[in-house]
């Protein structure tokens, strides 16, 4: 059977690291770049701390091993001095040779104890020192017997059997001590070599880690430089795009300002041309009624009054449309507004019936606002509450409370209320709830109110049910900024 051909690589498998890197956002690229030197720093610190501790520990072990070797050499020298002193005295009968022997004896036991303490952490060497201690004690016993034998017979011959046996035993025991010490030192030498090797390895690892950290740092620097250049190019490109967009927006704003200016002129001309014949119709109807007043019956007189009401409503509708179109398109004039005084002026201008009681709940705030637009909002809400009340007596309540960064104003009445189905419709332009034959309402007032409130970044909502009164709530910024939509 033939071997199956390998599956072709998909495009995703063939993508390089550079491709994935260039597709990352600048934020993620920056995060990766910042992580590189941080990782390098952490690796370097960890390597330095770990290697430093290991190096210091190994160095202390090397110093300790060298100290053990010096102590073993010192012990061997003391033993040799003791043995040499006995032999010299035995050959020459000269008391000065015994000086080295007597001086060596007090140092042997402390040196052995010191050596034993130094190898406490090494069980093998501790056992070796224990055996060495036994050999040394045997050697000292033989040297003491040899000295005693020499002192008993000052005329001995070197070949005297008794002394010869002691000398041979001392030599054999001393050779055993030398061999034991040599084995001990060889073990310590091997340990010293291993520890020096470990120290060299630790230093090599440290150098390698530092080298890797250096390479990582260079890569991080290169990546940061590449990212900087890439970001610079993108910022330059985006700056050019922004400049082009600003030029387009400037041209669009200029065209929009020109169109708005033309629209204002058109609106003024249209409203003037529309209101002029309406006034003429109203005046003409009055003249006709005066001329034929004796001939008019009640039906015709009602029709003439209805005609003039329709004309006045049309004029009010034109004025309302003008106000609606101008909301948010003029320069705001920000000044200090005492809402309590503003409401008093509005109520006085509306001249509500004497039976109406309008309560202003204290305290009312003082804020920085466009007084004309705030006045327009309150005027519409209060006039609607008065005009649409179903009784000759009514009660209206106005209050204001401070919120996070705005004030919430509440206008409540005890009028006929509004069905829930119409809560959204009442803010639509030209929307009225009563028949146009029974009301002179244009259906623009609440639309203007909503547009003004929203242009200030606020909200307005209605709470009402039939025969349970109506409450309007709207928010207004505490400090209004000067803005203009042209």
Give the span between the Cα atoms of 344 and 330, in whole angstroms. 26
Q: How far is CA 24 from CA 30, 31, 32, 34, in A?
A: 10, 11, 10, 15
pLDDT of residue 166: 59
- 14 within some domain: no
- Output the average pLDDT for the chain: 76
- Which of the listed ranges 77-81, 90-94, 178-182, 405-409 does the model predict with the highest average pLDDT? 405-409
- Residue 408 predicted with pLDDT over 90: yes
C-alpha angle 227-229-233 in degrees, rounded to nearest 5: 115
- Which of the listed ranges 147-151, 159-163, 238-242 does the model predict with the highest average pLDDT? 238-242
Rounded mean pLDDT of 157-181? 62
Instruction: Report percent pLDDT > 70 for the chain.
Output: 73
Nearest to 101 by CA among 89, 112, 110, 109: 89
Give the span between the Cα atoms of 337 and 375, in whole angstroms. 10
Across 255-259, 339-343, 353-357, least confident range = 255-259
- 236 within some domain: no
Within this chain, do residues 344 and 201 fall inside the same structural domain, yes or no?
no
- The pTM of the full predicted model, rounded to 2 decimals, is 0.42
pLDDT of residue 64: 80
Across 162-166, 202-206, 354-358, 452-456, least confident range = 162-166
**Residue range(s) defining the domain that contains residue 357:** 333-477
State the pLDDT confidence band at 359, using cuts at 50, 70 and 90.
Answer: very high
pLDDT of residue 271: 62
Q: In what order do the strands lie in the sheet with 406-413?
A: 356-360, 394-402, 406-413, 470-477, 460-464
Give the span between the Cα atoms of 439 and 432, in whole angstroms. 9
- First and final C-alpha spacing in the chain: 82
pLDDT of residue 323: 59
Within this chain, do residues 213 and 337 fall inside the same structural domain, yes or no?
no
- Residue 155 predicted with pLDDT over 60: no
Give the span between the Cα atoms of 423 and 425, in whole angstroms. 6
- Residue 2 predicted with pLDDT over 50: no
- 388 within some domain: yes
pLDDT of residue 164: 57
pLDDT of residue 410: 94
- 472 within some domain: yes
Rounded mean pLDDT of 183-212? 75
Rounded mean pLDDT of 295-314? 74
- 13 within some domain: no
Query: Which of these three, 227, 258, 287, is where a domain ends?
Result: 227
Pairing of strands 394-402, 406-413: antiparallel
- 456 within some domain: yes
pLDDT of residue 194: 79
pLDDT of residue 485: 37
- Residue 411 predicted with pLDDT over 90: yes
Report the interhelical angle of 123-152 vs 26-92 (nearest 10°). Answer: 10
- 294 within some domain: no
pLDDT of residue 432: 58
CATH of the domain at 392: 3.30.565.10
Query: Which of these three, 227, 255, 289, is where a domain ends?
Result: 227
On whether the CB atoms of residues 68 and 119 are closer than 8 A, the answer is yes
Give tens-digit pLDDT for 212-235. Answer: 777 777 776 777 677 667 777 877
pLDDT of residue 340: 93
SS3 105: helix
Within this chain, do residues 223 and 342 fall inside the same structural domain, yes or no?
no
- 220 within some domain: yes
**pLDDT higher at 386 or 41:** 386
pLDDT of residue 320: 58
Across 63-72, 162-171, 327-336, 448-457, least confident range = 162-171
Rounded mean pLDDT of 89-114? 79
- Residue 453 predicted with pLDDT over 50: yes
Give tens-digit pLDDT for 51-76. Answer: 777 778 777 878 887 887 888 788 78
pLDDT of residue 26: 64
- Count of structural domains, the chain: 2
Query: Which of these three, 201, 227, 253, is where a domain ends?
Result: 227
Give the span between the Cα atoms of 149 and 162, in whole angstroms. 8
**pLDDT higher at 166 or 152:** 152
């Amino acid at each position: 059977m033939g071997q199956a051909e390998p599956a072709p690589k998909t495009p995703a498998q063939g993508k390089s690291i550079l491709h994935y890197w260039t597709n990352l956002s600048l934020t993620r690229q920056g995060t990766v770049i910042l992580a590189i030197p941080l990782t390098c720093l952490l690796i370097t610190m960890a390597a330095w701390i770990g290697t430093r501790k290991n190096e210091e520990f190994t160095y202390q072990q090397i110093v300790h091993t060298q100290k053990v070797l010096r102590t073993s050499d010192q012990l061997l020298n003391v033993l040799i001095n003791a043995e040499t002193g006995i032999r010299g005295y035995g050959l020459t009968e000269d008391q000065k040779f015994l000086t080295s022997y007597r001086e060596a004896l007090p140092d042997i036991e402390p040196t052995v104890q010191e050596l034993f303490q130094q190898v406490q952490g090494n069980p093998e060497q501790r056992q070796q020192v224990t055996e060495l201690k036994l050999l040394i004690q045997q050697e000292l016993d033989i040297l003491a017997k040899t000295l005693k034998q020499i002192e008993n017979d000052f005329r001995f011959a070197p070949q005297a059997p008794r002394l010869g046996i002691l000398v041979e035993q001392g030599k054999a025991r001393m050779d055993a001590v030398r061999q034991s010490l040599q084995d001990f030192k060889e073990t310590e030498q091997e340990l010293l070599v291993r520890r020096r090797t470990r120290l060299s390895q630790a230093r090599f690892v440290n150098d390698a880690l530092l080298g890797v950290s250096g390479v990582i740092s260079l890569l991080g620097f290169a990546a940061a430089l590449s990212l900087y250049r890439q970001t610079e190019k993108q910022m330059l490109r985006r700056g050019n795009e922004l400049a082009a967009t600003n030029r387009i927006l400037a041209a669009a704003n200029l065209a929009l300002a020109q169109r708005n200016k033309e629209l204002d002129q058109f609106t003024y001309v249209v409203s003037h041309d529309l209101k002029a014949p309406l006034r003429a119709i109203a005046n003409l109807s009055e003249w006709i009624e005066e001329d034929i007043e004796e001939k008019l019956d009640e039906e015709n007189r009602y029709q003439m009054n209805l005609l003039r009401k329709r004309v006045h409503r049309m004029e009010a509708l034109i004025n309302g449309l003008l106000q609606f179109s101008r909301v948010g398109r003029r320069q705001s004039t920000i000044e200090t507004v005492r809402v309590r005084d503003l409401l008093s002026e509005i109520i006085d201008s509306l001249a509500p019936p004497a039976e109406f009681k309008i309560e202003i709940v204290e305290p009312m705030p003082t804020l920085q606002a466009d007084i004309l637009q705030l006045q327009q909002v309150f005027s519409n809400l209060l006039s609607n509450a008065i005009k649409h009340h179903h009784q000759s007596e009514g009660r209206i309540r106005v209050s204001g409370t401070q919120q996070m960064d705005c004030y919430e104003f509440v206008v409540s009445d005890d009028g006929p209320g509004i069905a829930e189905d119409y809560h959204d419709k009442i803010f639509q332009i030209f929307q009225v709830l009563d028949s146009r034959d029974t009301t002179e309402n244009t259906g623009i007032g609440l639309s203007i109110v909503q547009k003004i409130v929203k242009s200030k970044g606020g909200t307005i909502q209605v709470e009402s049910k039939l025969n349970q009164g109506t409450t309007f709530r709207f928010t207004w910024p505490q400090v209004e900024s000067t803005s203009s939509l042209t």
